[in-house]
A = this chain, B = another copy of it.
């Protein structure tokens, strides 16, 4: 198990001064969603309709979670980010994954380690797999995050200065099992940008990598017991996105 936070020497990098162990309280709309608790699947975005994120305006549940009819659950988180541009997030996803000391900037109370499965360095993320160790609530997880082209989820590629959609298949780094999908759509607003995160976990999104239908039917009941608590995932996402957004413009100005 890797350690949380910075220890002696960890801050001796060009970006070390950006590490801030203090995290702000959750935004009020996230607290409202926690109070609400699980919601109707009909107000949650279906994975097959991920492209609806490209529509103007807002979807019925921008922040919240709920169990899905056919098993598993969905989580949504809206993060308002004054002064942040979609381009900065595109840069961040290509920059942070090669060094745990960068990854820890993002969530100082939960992120323990990160490296690329290909062992490579910075610059891009689509088509690569980020191997991370982090807590979701009190549960330590070793995840493989395989970033895919937005087209794979029906979202067209972005053009510079416009929205960015970060899309990934989520799975285990210890077993050849995937358990979900994520989209972080970042679009410009008057004062900066907003991130609309979506997770679809468990149920029909569980699959054995390079496996077949039979393997899937065996693994799904097992994987269902390994899923994070949706409330912990919503809290974690809201915390890390709000935290990083607070200094992403300064970080990007220096290293972007």
Q: Which of B30, B35, B229 contacts A26 (CB 8 A)?
A: B35
Specify which chain B residues have a CB less than 8 angstroms from the CB of A25 in the assembled complex. Answer: 28, 32, 35
Q: Are B39 and A138 in contact (CB under 8 A)?
A: yes
User: Residue of B at shortest CB range from A40?
Assistant: B135
A6-32 interface with B by 8 A CB criterion:
21, 25-26, 28, 30-32
Q: Are B60 and A137 in contact (CB under 8 A)?
A: no
Specify which chain B residues have a CB less than 8 angstroms from the CB of A4 in the assembled complex. Answer: 40, 42-43
The distance from the CB of A10 to the nearest CB of chain B, in whole angstroms, is 14
Knowing A60-B5, A60-B21, A67-B138, say if A38 contacts B232 (CB, 8 Å): yes
Specify which chain B residues have a CB less than 8 angstroms from the CB of A32 in the assembled complex. Answer: 25-26
Determine the distance from Cα of A5 to Cα of B140 in the docked complex, in whole angstroms. 39
7 new A-B contacts, CB < 8 A, other than A4-B40, A30-B35, A69-B140, are A5-B43, A5-B60, A35-B235, A38-B139, A38-B232, A40-B109, A67-B139
**Interfacial residues, chain A to chain B (CB-CB below 8 A):** 1, 3-5, 21, 25-26, 28, 30-32, 34-43, 60, 66-69, 73, 109-110, 112, 135, 137-140, 229, 231-232, 235, 239
